[in-house]
Amino acid sequence: MSGNTFGKLFCVTSFGESHGPAIGCVVDGCPPGLELSEADIQPDLDRRKPGTSKYVTQRKEEDKVRILSGVFEGRTTGTPIALLIENTDQRSYDYAKISQVFRPNHADYAYIQKYGIRDHRGGGRSSARETAVRVAAGAIAKKLLREKFGIRVRGYLSQMGDIEIAFKSWDEIDRNAFFAPDASRVPELEALIDTLRSEGDSIGARIEVVATNVPPGLGEPVFDRLDADLAHALMGINAVKGVEIGDGMKVAAMRGTEHRDEMTPDGFLSNHSGGVAGGISTGQDIVCAIAIKPTSSITTPGKSIDSEGKAVDMRTTGRHDPCVGVRATPIAEAMVALVLVDHWLRNRAQCGDVVPETPRITG
Amino acid sequence: MSGNTFGKLFCVTSFGESHGPAIGCVVDGCPPGLELSEADIQPDLDRRKPGTSKYVTQRKEEDKVRILSGVFEGRTTGTPIALLIENTDQRSYDYAKISQVFRPNHADYAYIQKYGIRDHRGGGRSSARETAVRVAAGAIAKKLLREKFGIRVRGYLSQMGDIEIAFKSWDEIDRNAFFAPDASRVPELEALIDTLRSEGDSIGARIEVVATNVPPGLGEPVFDRLDADLAHALMGINAVKGVEIGDGMKVAAMRGTEHRDEMTPDGFLSNHSGGVAGGISTGQDIVCAIAIKPTSSITTPGKSIDSEGKAVDMRTTGRHDPCVGVRATPIAEAMVALVLVDHWLRNRAQCGDVVPETPRITG
Amino acid sequence: MSGNTFGKLFCVTSFGESHGPAIGCVVDGCPPGLELSEADIQPDLDRRKPGTSKYVTQRKEEDKVRILSGVFEGRTTGTPIALLIENTDQRSYDYAKISQVFRPNHADYAYIQKYGIRDHRGGGRSSARETAVRVAAGAIAKKLLREKFGIRVRGYLSQMGDIEIAFKSWDEIDRNAFFAPDASRVPELEALIDTLRSEGDSIGARIEVVATNVPPGLGEPVFDRLDADLAHALMGINAVKGVEIGDGMKVAAMRGTEHRDEMTPDGFLSNHSGGVAGGISTGQDIVCAIAIKPTSSITTPGKSIDSEGKAVDMRTTGRHDPCVGVRATPIAEAMVALVLVDHWLRNRAQCGDVVPETPRITG
Amino acid sequence: MSGNTFGKLFCVTSFGESHGPAIGCVVDGCPPGLELSEADIQPDLDRRKPGTSKYVTQRKEEDKVRILSGVFEGRTTGTPIALLIENTDQRSYDYAKISQVFRPNHADYAYIQKYGIRDHRGGGRSSARETAVRVAAGAIAKKLLREKFGIRVRGYLSQMGDIEIAFKSWDEIDRNAFFAPDASRVPELEALIDTLRSEGDSIGARIEVVATNVPPGLGEPVFDRLDADLAHALMGINAVKGVEIGDGMKVAAMRGTEHRDEMTPDGFLSNHSGGVAGGISTGQDIVCAIAIKPTSSITTPGKSIDSEGKAVDMRTTGRHDPCVGVRATPIAEAMVALVLVDHWLRNRAQCGDVVPETPRITG
């Protein structure tokens, strides 16, 4: 109820602050019999972790995950899988001086108003560090989707500031630290980061996530639509301010003749709807996108208040990403994967033995 | 779990098909002691109902709501409030001919793949008619917010196709059938609808919703962030393909110096974040927007398949809105209200007696 | 959260007061494709309804159920099934005089302390009338269990006051108004009721419920054990004060050599555990029992207080059952059925494709 | 959904197997501002832990708890509190030989039928070791109840086999390893344990739990009654086969004149109902009891089957309690405390500002 559990059948309960002893989660509801070890999870954590290039924060967190339960002799047992990541690089002295002031556009002020108390070290629970946990849980979801259900979830950076990057191929994405789908554009991105660093500024970004080979029938028809649950999952990522499915916000200006996805015996003729109709997957690719705001922690001073309500001028130091969107691709993939696994299981519960008479068309 | 219940503390369980005997819901978790009668709910239903102008569908549903329980001597008792709306204008013969074919961009095909069976009369459960129920439940939420918590939730149409409508005043909205915040623009909207009707086409729209006087502290820090739950609520409305909080998708191109909302002892200097930081309300106005796709049911024929998978050419007749966005404003308001009530109660449960030492600044 | 929804995958949301316009529920999560009509539900309601013999209350409620949604052309569609029972015999004038006093051992005083308001007509929400709704929902669960999963749930009256009734056969139960498994004992029960009526007193009872052909594997290992969920379901029935699984409270005095159920290739040698081990069904019969307190509404005057806290002498008139246990058998069956359906679906979600290598032994 | 989370507002998610690296839980929903350290939790763990006297199992688990999150500068922050207990004494070789056979009356067979796989080391997830986690979470609940809400929860052993122990005083309980409320009876209990050990047998027990100073109004009127949730919590403890509230199973033989709790301006005249009426607390003491079956692991050989379904004769060795009931008192207290905290918060959410006009009478 305090909102630290995600999912209804494949449930992830997250815990931990950026500067406490550890962060982690409990994954409850993973089917038994899946081969699983830390080696299945670590690669996704490594994709997200800070310090991998000079274009992201230079904090050095190892993000080493340990499985504490739920796996026996290399396979899941159907019982809760606890994942633990110990915090190692926690220079909380960096944060001591901000304990009595509120960083603009951070959760600091909202936290103190809500709880009357906050762990000011690195944002505590509101730190982007918490997303490591989601990536870890998502790695299990992704493996389950891939190996048991045949579904693949992948994302990429499609925009940073004014730089829009057209999709070239999935192979490009692993060849650069930006998750850009066209590696030839990377020098532009690097130049932008360099400029921002020198100007004490930051920039927003846009990420696309695509899930392929999703069967039709996932999602519930009214409140817990597949797209609604994707929106919940994606808007719940730190710094996300917009979520789109298929054509997204552009549909406001579109006509019905242009937007509708016609069907033929050989499949759909387009995918404007992003693979979801009436809240239920159609069998086409699930396509969604998020916009991530520019990092709020910048070195250009800004106006704020302190804990007594007095005006202060605030300049955030510390080691921050000029573009938090750069490391967000694995997080967005993880959240989409968690939604899909959850709905796959929900669908199996209610409609597990349905054999539709209407033939399935390809996506 | 089948997704027909919304909310965790203020729970709405919806039921009913467009062409069955009735639609309705159970509202569980409303605090006791609220004055309530059908007269508090009917006006919002009347705002949404079809047939009110020539610019919306000419179906004539009375949408007369009846309270079946949970109210005694004019006040809520704390027990479930059941709301019932009987269906009156159910020309299901209109739909008989489409029972064996799938309307493009509708849920028809996805339903049959999921359930192996579907109520083809008017879309059954996927019909926009179901949203009447949300409006009814939302009217209770809005009253509770207004009278007990001092919060007001209002929406308006900000775009239809290429026509963007700048906000003029809340008073304008009730003066036209489009919920447009500038009544002087209505002739343009009417002309567009007329054109679409003659062309057998439809158009998308954009709706903004604003909640004022929201206290800081609503929302949970990780998965069930206030913005994440708003996204879930809004993306769960039929035909919505994008959700934005504050600056929304535009943040992808913004800089930190531009986007961050600075604070002073006299309040925030801007509201780019839409009233939510780190998933928790800041005390500023909550500002969100949705994009609604063009109506899929249009009279221009389109390619589709029938229940045996064979190609058909499909021309949707029946009485449909050329722009479903026109009647969506009350629905969006209702969903935002339901989220806010739910989080208000969740916050009272966990932090009910917190008295923050930091003074509250104005929004 | 306000506790009017039962189940996690097969969810029943109950509403209605005894003297309002109607009671009813929404059943969400029923798999599609089940043949269903009112005729499947009414018989169980008729078994529970008052006025069927002179040994129960003489209120005359028709308890006529109507299906409002979720069924199309005689089969469930996978969407919410709303059930409505209108109240017909609501002599609320009977209750006007008790509006300012609290009946001893009733929920009256607790309600006013909790909600600050109560619907005093017939107990409002705390009325046993609400259990009609559970019986109606349970009838759907029972049909699903029987026809799709091969499971049968049946109950009987095993004790009323000092009269203990040994199980003779299931056929006997339908031959008498007491659900006694040995019709030859009925004259004793009738005599006891007559005595209680003349003495202005009431009596407790014990009900057993047995589920046969339950597969092994239902139930979750820690909190939501099958037996824990049965206890929740059964203790949640009005007037129940004790719940037992298998040997129940007697195990406190038993030895391990006596209690343990040994296994052979031909099956279990005993069923002291009532079909549940470690919270999970073993494949044996599920056996549980409840004790129901004597009716609190009796004509012998008792001490109480009024709404100002002053002492009053209270004599409950109205039409009450001398033994509420008499009509409780269908309710207990319904609750057990709801638990089993829910866990069957939960198990299908998580372990749906498990094929255990160990052969299954018979119960 | 897989049932490893307890509570709706004060949520405990448990993980870990008896012979894995660690067990633990995440407590989500604890209000902010509670002073908390490991020193508040350890004493209850020490009360439950094995090896404290010769009358319980001689396994030596330190049960040292560590708080990983949710506490900052000695106070809870309102964020998830993760608790970790590392396993130290895990002689799993003791269990290797039972990997291919099923212990009678254990969950072994049910697990393999459900999951197709099981962690056979010490019962894995079904081990009583998991209850340490509940005791740890319960210690937080107990502290919150005591310090913030003024409620106290205590339990005692009232019966072991044929030995019934009348309540003498709460002070006695801490003076003996049996949690007996009359220390003069301890020699009898010791003698019984000695006899059982020599005979290779075990014995059942009965535990009472009493909560004092509970305000009226906790509990929801229909499914999630306070007593129903207590039954769920208590029946969910390993080896529990019966749960009673107030007079419990005895009510089946009682009369209304005898059972009803009359009220006067000075309070209730009796507490047969155990402090709950209509599912809601009345302000009297909450009184409940459980029966715990005799330990299934005994040295007297018993019939069973192996993983191929063949007959085996089974003699459980290892270090087991002759009476698992001896160490169950802290577990039962913990579960009752968790239910009360949860309902206290639920009540605050929905009825937080209710001021009943009727004066409160003492319990």
DSSP states of A17-85 as a string?
-TTSSEEEEEEE-PPTT-B--HHHHHHHHHHH-TTSSTTS--------EEE-SSEETTEE-SS-EEEEE
Is A307 a known ligand-binding residue?
no
C-beta of residue A210 within 8 angstroms of C-beta of residue A155? yes
Question: Mean pLDDT for chain B?
Answer: 92
DSSP conformational letter for D200? T
Judge whether residue C62 has pLDDT over 90: no
Evaluate whether residue D48 is within a structural domain. yes
Q: Within an 8 Å CB–CB cutoff, is residue A248 touching chain C?
A: no
Question: Closest approach of chain A CAs to the CA of D282, in angstroms?
Answer: 26
Is A296 a known ligand-binding residue?
yes
Question: Mean pLDDT for chain D?
Answer: 92
pLDDT of res. C124: 83
C-beta of residue D22 within 8 angstroms of C-beta of residue A69? yes
pLDDT of res. D89: 67
Q: Which of D5, D263, D335 is the best residue to mutate to test the C interface, defined by the most C CB atoms within 10 Å of its own CB?
A: D263
Q: Under an 8 A CB cutoff, do C216 and D255 touch?
A: no
Evaluate whether residue D110 is within a structural domain. yes
How far does CA A300 lie from the centroid of its chain?
28
Nearest CA in chain A to B159: A252
Evaluate whether residue C358 is within a structural domain. no
C-beta of residue B115 within 8 angstroms of C-beta of residue A354? yes
> Distance (Å, rounded) from C-alpha D133 to C-alpha D148?
23
C-beta of residue C252 within 8 angstroms of C-beta of residue C265? no
Judge whether residue D345 has pLDDT over 60: yes
Evaluate whether residue C357 is within a structural domain. no
**What percentage of chain D has pLDDT greater than the value 70?**
95
C-beta of residue A287 within 8 angstroms of C-beta of residue A246? yes
pLDDT of res. D297: 84
In one-letter notation, the amino acid at residue A291 is A
Nearest CA in chain A to C8: A8
pLDDT of res. D316: 75
DSSP conformational letter for A157? E
DSSP conformational letter for B153? E
A–B CB contacts, 8 A cutoff, strictly below: 451
Evaluate whether residue A247 is within a structural domain. yes
Angle at C219 between CA C214 and CA C220, to 5 degrees: 160
Nearest CA in chain A to C77: A351
| pLDDT single digits (tens) A71-107 | 999 999 999 999 999 998 666 555 666 788 898 888 9
Q: Within an 8 Å CB–CB cutoff, is residue C279 touching chain A?
A: no
pTM: predicted TM-score of the whole model, two decimal places:
0.97
> How large is the average pLDDT for residues C248-253?
98
Judge whether residue C58 has pLDDT over 80: no
N-terminal to C-terminal alpha carbon distance within chain C:
37
> Distance (Å, rounded) from C-alpha D242 to C-alpha A93?
55
Question: Closest approach of chain A CAs to the CA of D303, in angstroms?
Answer: 27
Q: Within an 8 Å CB–CB cutoff, is residue C32 touching chain A?
A: yes
More confident residue, C157 or B104: C157
* Nearest-by-Cβ selection for C107 from D221, D247, D351: D221
- Cβ-proximal residues to C194 (8 Å cutoff; 6+ apart), any chain: none
Question: Closest approach of chain B CAs to the CA of A219, in angstroms?
Answer: 8
pLDDT of res. A44: 95
Q: B77 contacts in C (CB within 8 Å)? A: 115, 117-119, 124-125
Nearest-CA neighbor of D282 among D246, D242, D252?
A: D246
Give A353's pLDDT tier (boundaries 50, 70, 90): confident
- Cβ-proximal residues to D218 (8 Å cutoff; 6+ apart), any chain: C114, D226, D280, D281, D340, D343, D344, D347
- Dihedral in degrees, nearest 10, Cα atoms B338, B341, B342, B345: -170
pLDDT of res. C172: 95
Judge whether residue A49 has pLDDT over 90: no
Evaluate whether residue A358 is within a structural domain. no
Element (DSSP H or E) covering residue A208: strand A205-212
More confident residue, A362 or A305: A305
Q: Which of A350, A355, A357, A358 is the best residue to mutate to test the C interface, defined by the most C CB atoms within 10 Å of its own CB?
A: A350
> Distance (Å, rounded) from C-alpha B235 to C-alpha B229?
10
| pLDDT single digits (tens) D32-85 | 999 999 999 999 999 888 767 777 676 677 889 999 999 999 999 999 999 999
Evaluate whether residue A214 is within a structural domain. yes
CA dihedral for C362, D4, D5, D6, sign (positive or negative)? positive
| C210 phi, psi to nearest 5 deg | -125, 130
Question: Closest approach of chain C CAs to the CA of B345, in angstroms?
Answer: 11
DSSP conformational letter for B149? S
Instruction: Look up the CATH number of the domain holding residue C262.
Output: 3.60.150.10
Q: Which region among B248-257, C239-248, C290-299 has the lowest average model confidence (pLDDT)? A: C290-299
> Distance (Å, rounded) from C-alpha B246 to C-alpha B230?
12
> Distance (Å, rounded) from C-alpha C192 to C-alpha C197?
9
More confident residue, C292 or B360: C292
Q: Which of residues 203-222 of C touch D (CB under 8 A)?
A: 203-206, 215-222
Tell me the β-bridge partners of A84. A24, A66
> Distance (Å, rounded) from C-alpha C29 to C-alpha B5?
11
DSSP 3-state of D348 = helix
CA dihedral for B181, B183, B188, B190, sign (positive or negative)? positive
> Distance (Å, rounded) from C-alpha B189 to C-alpha B183?
10
C-beta of residue A230 within 8 angstroms of C-beta of residue A211? no
N-terminal to C-terminal alpha carbon distance within chain A:
37
Q: Please give the residue range of the domain that contains residue A319.
A: 5-351
C-beta of residue D69 within 8 angstroms of C-beta of residue A85? no
Q: Under an 8 A CB cutoff, do B21 and C124 touch?
A: no
Q: Under an 8 A CB cutoff, do A77 and D8 touch?
A: no
> How large is the average pLDDT for residues A277-291?
97
- In terms of Cβ atoms closer than 10 Å to its own Cβ (0-12, 13-18, 19+), residue C235 is buried
* Nearest-by-Cβ selection for B216 from A110, A325, A355: A110
Return the exposure string of C236-245: e unless at least 16 CB atoms fall within 10 Å of the residue's CB, then b.
bbbbbbbbbb
pLDDT of res. C91: 61
- Cβ-proximal residues to B252 (8 Å cutoff; 6+ apart), any chain: A159, A160, A161, A204, A205, A206, A291, A292, A325
> How large is the average pLDDT for residues C86-111?
78
How far does CA D66 lie from the centroid of its chain?
21
Question: How many CB atoms are located within 10 Å of the residue C37 CB?
Answer: 11
In one-letter notation, the amino acid at residue C271 is N
> Distance (Å, rounded) from C-alpha A337 to C-alpha C172?
55
Q: D9 contacts in B (CB within 8 Å)? A: 349-350
> Distance (Å, rounded) from C-alpha C200 to C-alpha C350?
53
* Nearest-by-Cβ selection for C252 from D206, D264, D278: D206
> How large is the average pLDDT for residues B307-334?
88
Q: Which of residues 63-82 of B touch D (CB under 8 A)?
A: 78-79
Q: Which residue has the tokens 């009910």?
A: B352
Q: Under an 8 A CB cutoff, do B16 and C68 touch?
A: yes
Q: Under an 8 A CB cutoff, do D349 and B351 touch?
A: no
Length of chain B: 363
Q: A1 contacts in C (CB within 8 Å)? A: 1
How far, in Å, are A197, B35, C221, C262, D298 from residue D315 at the CA level?
Answer: 71, 68, 24, 12, 7
Nearest-CA neighbor of A80 among A149, A146, A140, A130?
A: A140
| pLDDT single digits (tens) A160-170 | 999 999 999 99
Evaluate whether residue A363 is within a structural domain. no
**What percentage of chain D has pLDDT greater than the value 90?**
77
- In terms of Cβ atoms closer than 10 Å to its own Cβ (0-12, 13-18, 19+), residue A150 is exposed
> How large is the average pLDDT for residues A306-315?
90
In one-letter notation, the amino acid at residue A93 is Y
- In terms of Cβ atoms closer than 10 Å to its own Cβ (0-12, 13-18, 19+), residue C1 is buried
Helices (H), A177-255: 186-199, 226-235
DSSP conformational letter for A114? H
Is D2 a known ligand-binding residue?
no
Q: Which region among A46-60, B165-179, B204-218, C286-300 has the lowest average model confidence (pLDDT)? A: A46-60
> How large is the average pLDDT for residues A222-241?
97
Q: Within an 8 Å CB–CB cutoff, is residue C224 touching chain B?
A: no
DSSP conformational letter for A150? -
Instruction: Please report the beta strands in C181-248, taking only residues with DSSP state E, as ranges in sequence order.
Output: 205-212, 240-245
Q: Within an 8 Å CB–CB cutoff, is residue B32 touching chain D?
A: yes
| pLDDT single digits (tens) A8-17 | 999 999 999 9
How far does CA B8 lie from the centroid of its chain?
18
- Cβ-proximal residues to B195 (8 Å cutoff; 6+ apart), any chain: none
pLDDT of res. D92: 54
How far, in Å, are B360, D46, D75, D136, D261 from residue D36 at the CA level?
Answer: 28, 17, 5, 12, 39
Q: Under an 8 A CB cutoff, do C69 and B23 touch?
A: yes
- In terms of Cβ atoms closer than 10 Å to its own Cβ (0-12, 13-18, 19+), residue B9 is buried
Q: Which region among A118-122, B240-244, D104-108 has the lowest average model confidence (pLDDT)? A: A118-122
Q: Which region among B204-218, B272-286, D319-333 has the lowest average model confidence (pLDDT)? A: D319-333
Question: How many CB atoms are located within 10 Å of the residue A53 CB?
Answer: 14
Judge whether residue C175 has pLDDT over 80: yes
Is B297 a known ligand-binding residue?
yes
- Give chain A's domain count: 1
Tell me the β-bridge partners of A101. A306
More confident residue, B126 or A9: A9
DSSP 3-state of C253 = helix
**What percentage of chain C has pLDDT greater than the value 90?**
77
| pLDDT single digits (tens) A194-205 | 999 999 999 999
Judge whether residue D361 has pLDDT over 90: no
Q: Which of B260, B297, B314, B343 is the best residue to mutate to test the A interface, defined by the most A CB atoms within 10 Å of its own CB?
A: B260
Judge whether residue D121 has pLDDT over 60: yes
Q: Which residue has the tokens 């398949």?
A: B305
| pLDDT single digits (tens) B63-99 | 899 999 999 999 999 999 999 999 986 665 556 667 8
Give C358's pLDDT tier (boundaries 50, 70, 90): confident
C-beta of residue B82 within 8 angstroms of C-beta of residue B60? no
Question: Closest approach of chain C CAs to the CA of A261, in angstroms?
Answer: 25
pLDDT of res. D90: 60
Q: Under an 8 A CB cutoff, do B11 and C2 touch?
A: yes
In one-letter notation, the amino acid at residue B129 is R
Q: B230 contacts in A (CB within 8 Å)? A: 235
Is A293 a known ligand-binding residue?
yes
Q: Within an 8 Å CB–CB cutoff, is residue C175 touching chain D?
A: no
* Nearest-by-Cβ selection for D112 from C218, C255, C358: C358
Which chains neighbour B (Cβ–Cβ under 8 Å, 3 or more pairs)? A, C, D
Q: Which residue has the tokens 């609501």?
A: C90
Q: Which of C5, C75, C148, C350 is the best residue to mutate to test the A interface, defined by the most A CB atoms within 10 Å of its own CB?
A: C350
Q: Under an 8 A CB cutoff, do D82 and A15 touch?
A: yes
> Distance (Å, rounded) from C-alpha B123 to C-alpha A171?
41
Q: What are the structure tokens assigned to D261, written together?
A: 């709790």
More confident residue, B54 or D162: D162
pLDDT of res. A290: 98
Length of chain A: 363
pLDDT of res. B1: 64
Question: How many CB atoms are located within 10 Å of the residue B54 CB?
Answer: 11
pLDDT of res. C59: 67
Give D96's pLDDT tier (boundaries 50, 70, 90): low
Is A168 a known ligand-binding residue?
no
Question: Closest approach of chain C CAs to the CA of B283, in angstroms?
Answer: 27
Element (DSSP H or E) covering residue C138: helix C131-148
Q: What are the structure tokens assigned to A81, written together?
A: 């899988």
Q: Under an 8 A CB cutoff, do A303 and B233 touch?
A: no
* Nearest-by-Cβ selection for D31 from B33, B79, B350: B350
B–C CB contacts, 8 A cutoff, strictly below: 154
Question: Closest approach of chain D CAs to the CA of B7, in angstroms?
Answer: 13
Q: Within an 8 Å CB–CB cutoff, is residue D302 touching chain C?
A: yes
